[in-house]
Structure 1
Amino acid sequence: MGNILEVNDLHVTFDTYAGVVKAVRGVSFHVKPGEAVAIVGESGCGKSVTAKSIMRLLPEPHSKIKSGTILLNNSNLVDKREREMQKIRGNEIGMIFQDPMTSLNPTSKVGAQITEGLLKHQNISRKEAYQTAVNMLEMVGIPNPEKRFNQYPHEFSGGMRQRVMIAMALVCQPKLLIADEPTTALDVTIQAQILKLMKDLQEKTNTSIILITHDLGVVAEMCDRVVVMYAGQVVESGTIHEIFSNPSHPYTEGLLKSMPRIDMSRDVKLSPIPGTPPDLLAPPKGCAFYARCDKAMRVCKENPPLYEKVGDSRYAACWLHHPLAKNTQTTS
């Protein structure tokens, strides 16, 4: 079976007063039908920009997809006009945004916001749209959905608003769901409920999921594969087991070392990654992680590593996997 989504060599820039920010630099990954793929990395690494590029929701005219393709069922979204994208958003691709309070219209009842997509994309009556929306509210775990249908977003708690966002994203039964930090603003208990809800809905509807997050615990709970981004590039990708048990890139290793684990001894201290990410107004000539890497070599400073296969289903961009790496003198 083919991929539902393929992102190939995507480059995205932003025009600012300071210059051109190269926010996404050659990102490539794919998503299979029914698969959950996580995109992880520090803030500012290009995760959300990549997601919004797929939805074609980047702010205009200051942003631009410079090159690359975004293939949804082999149809290139980069070439679509805005009118064509309006037919795709919500219908073929759903998106859960980071902050439900700012993503929902405070002046419109939640029922009207859910049925809007149904009435736009599907040839059904308002009565049918109402019943579908009520059923979806019930499916995402909102009690008394008939009453809640006619309430405003401010009458919902944070967790309930996030459930409304999930209902809006899934009401037209899209084949791909993009969840951008869907549990960031929620407490731990509600976070667990939302993750379980998304996993249950994925199994029921066979929806593919792209989960944008910096929380590796959420990734372990939800996803099949991981795409690790740094400074606008993909530095490693592989299955959950491969990434968590034996990371192939020093940046991925650093992320895992900075994350607390339930089996960790009290005497073991977390090891944060030193330094800060590079300035994407003027990206480094070589490896973007060079200045923060304790395994950096001379070749890393001047030459960007190739993104190559390093295992059965794992890819990484690191000179450490080069056959001559053992004979190369390190910077230390």
Structure 2
Amino acid sequence: MNPILRISDLQISFHVRGGEVQAVRGFNLEMKRGESVAIVGESGSGKSVTAQSILRLIPTPPGVIKKGSITFMGQDLLAKSEKEMEAIRGKEIGMIFQDPMTSLNPTLTVGKQISEVLIKHQKMSRAEATKRATELLTLVGIPNAHERVGEYPHQFSGGMRQRVMIAIALACDPALLIADEPTTALDVTIQAQIMQLMKDLQKKTGTSIILITHDLGIVADMCDRVVVMYAGKVVETGTKHEIFHNPQHPYTKGLLRSLPRLDQKKDEPLIPIFGTPPDMSSPPPGCAFCARCDDAMRICVDKDAPTYTISETQTAKCWLHDPARKGETA
């Protein structure tokens, strides 16, 4: 079966006053229909920029896609005109943005904002779109939807606004849903409700989901595969079981060590990843994680590691998997 999405060697930079910021440096991903993939990593690792590039939402200037390809359902998205992309955004690919308060128009009712998508892509009348908008609000768990469809974003709580964003993203039954930090700034109870809602909707519609997050805690029960990014590069990929139970890159191990666990002893401290990510306007020639890695070797400083195959479903970009480097130190 052909993948629904294939991203190959994607490189994205932003040209700013201080120079060129290399936000994404060779991202690769293949996704099957109906699959859920999480892209995780610290803030600034390139997750959101990668997601926005799929919908061609990178502001140009200062952003530029320097190299690579993005193929969706056999279509080369980078070769399409802006008008052609408008026909894809919202219809074939939906996106839930990070902050629903700034993503929703405060001067329009939520019903009208959902209806706009339906009128544009489904050619519905205003009355038909309003009726469908009410159904969508009910679907995402908003009570009294027939009344609330005429209310404004400021009349909704943070969790309810996020549900409205999901309703907009799912209005046209897209084949691919990109959720960029969908639970940011929400309390844990609402987080769980939002994630369960996305799982339930995926079962009903068969939508493929890309979940962008820095929180590994919400990944375990949601996604089939995990892509770990650091400093604009993919450093590890694997099934969620492989990533959580058999991580193969020092950065992934560091992320997991810094998470609280239910089986953790009271006097057992969390172990943070010390240091800060590199300056992406001048990334190091070798491994970007080298300065923060306890297992760094001499070669890590000068040369970036290739991607090693750990299993049929797991890869890691680290010199520790080179048989010739066993036992070597910095």
Short-chain TM bin: over 0.9
- Aligned partners of 1:47, 1:117: CA distance in 2, in Å? 26
- Aligned partners of 1:79, 1:312: CA distance in 2, in Å? 32
Q: Supply the AA of the counterpart residue of 1:185.
A: A
* Equivalent position of 1:88 in the other structure: 88
Query: Is the partner of 1:45 in helix, strand or coil?
Result: coil
- Aligned partners of 1:57, 1:307: CA distance in 2, in Å? 29
* Equivalent position of 2:202 in the other structure: 202
Q: Does 1:330 align with 2:329?
A: yes
The unaligned stretches of length 5 or more in structure 1 are none
Deviations 1:43-100 (A, max 9, x none): 0000000001111111121100000001101211111111111100000100001110
Give the CA deviation at 1:312: 2.2
Structure 1 stretches of at least 4 aligned residues deviating more than 6 Å after TM superposition: none
* Equivalent position of 1:122 in the other structure: 122
Give the CA deviation at 1:125: 2.1
Q: Does 1:213 align with 2:216?
A: no
- Aligned partners of 1:303, 1:74: CA distance in 2, in Å? 35
Percent of pairs with identical residues: 63
Q: Supply the AA of the counterpart residue of 1:311.
A: S
Could you say what the CA RMSD is over the residues aligned between the two structures, in angstroms? 0.8
Deviations 1:216-237 (A, max 9, x none): 1100121110000000000000
Q: Supply the AA of the counterpart residue of 1:139.
A: L
* Equivalent position of 2:180 in the other structure: 180
Give the CA deviation at 1:315: 0.9
Query: Is the partner of 1:324 in helix, strand or coil?
Result: helix
- Aligned partners of 1:262, 1:175: CA distance in 2, in Å? 36
Q: Supply the AA of the counterpart residue of 1:106.
A: P
Give the CA deviation at 1:308: 2.7
* Equivalent position of 1:227 in the other structure: 227
- Aligned partners of 1:118, 1:307: CA distance in 2, in Å? 43
Deviations 1:218-259 (A, max 9, x none): 001211100000000000000000000010100000000001
- Aligned partners of 1:312, 1:53: CA distance in 2, in Å? 28
Bigger mean CA deviation after superposition, 105-114 or 267-276: 267-276
- Aligned partners of 1:180, 1:257: CA distance in 2, in Å? 24
1:133-172 correspondence runs (5 A): 133-172=133-172
* Equivalent position of 1:107 in the other structure: 107
Q: Supply the AA of the counterpart residue of 1:257.
A: R
- Aligned partners of 1:167, 1:125: CA distance in 2, in Å? 18
- Aligned partners of 1:52, 1:320: CA distance in 2, in Å? 33
2:308–2:321 contact (8 Å) kept in structure 1: no
* Equivalent position of 1:40 in the other structure: 40
1:247-286 correspondence runs (5 A): 247-286=247-286
1:315-326 correspondence runs (5 A): 315-326=315-326
Aligned pairs, how many?
330
Query: Is the partner of 1:150 in helix, strand or coil?
Result: coil
- Aligned partners of 2:111, 2:124: CA distance in 1, in Å? 16
Q: Supply the AA of the counterpart residue of 2:172.
A: C
Deviations 1:281-301 (A, max 9, x none): 111101111111100111111
Give the CA deviation at 1:124: 2.3
- Aligned partners of 1:216, 1:61: CA distance in 2, in Å? 33
- Aligned partners of 2:314, 2:108: CA distance in 1, in Å? 46
Q: Does 1:63 align with 2:53?
A: no
2:110–2:164 contact (8 Å) kept in structure 1: yes
Q: Supply the AA of the counterpart residue of 1:199.
A: K
Bigger mean CA deviation after superposition, 165-174 or 30-39: 30-39
- Aligned partners of 1:134, 1:174: CA distance in 2, in Å? 18
Query: Is the partner of 1:220 in helix, strand or coil?
Result: coil
**TM-score between the two structures when normalised by the length of structure 1:** 0.98
The unaligned stretches of length 5 or more in structure 2 are none
